[in-house]
Amino acid sequence: MIEQRIRDSFAKQTMMQTLGAHIAEVGEGTVTISAPILPGSRQQHGVAHAALSFAIGDSAAGYAALTLMPADSEVMTAEMKINLLAPGVGDLLRATGKVIKPGRRLIIVTAEVYAITGAEEKLIALLQGTMVPVSV
């Protein structure tokens, strides 16, 4: 149910379609989003643009928060910090968001973004931020 709600919301995020992202997994307080490194998602050296890691990390964290919210709520990012650890090179990127502390007014979240190359995965970005519930 919550998974369907999240998939419906995700389907309306045209930015996710533009980036070729999809939801890989939904759990209680955690969501994983994957995206290829499309030809149109790169920076000047041909590797994934930081905004791609941000986009899927932020969305994974936001939907992780949403898994713990009442059915009539949505969340918005209040703030997000990203540390970029390594260039985004590989077959695809995979971001897992996680709720660290749920709350009525603020939800503290983190996300890890990995670059996947065959069987190997490498941590390339770490995010830490705050989601706020919004009524819809």
Positions that interact with a copy of itself (CB under 8 A): 9-10, 12-15, 17-18, 38-45, 49-52, 54-55, 58-59, 74, 76-86, 100-101, 105-106, 108, 110, 123, 126, 128-130, 132, 136
C-beta of 27: minimal distance to a copy of itself in Å?
20
C-beta of 14: minimal distance to a copy of itself in Å?
5
Listed in sequence order, the residues at least 6 apart from 16 whose beta carbon sits closer than 8 Å to its beta carbon are 10, 22, 33, 55, 56, 59
SS3 104: coil
Smaller CB distance to a copy of itself: residue 30 or 59? 59
SS3 89: coil
What does the alpha-carbon distance between residue 46 and residue 88 come to, in Å, rounded to a whole number? 9
What does the alpha-carbon distance between residue 120 and residue 5 come to, in Å, rounded to a whole number? 32
Smaller CB distance to a copy of itself: residue 32 or 124? 124
Smaller CB distance to a copy of itself: residue 3 or 74? 74
SS3 118: coil
C-beta of 22: minimal distance to a copy of itself in Å?
15
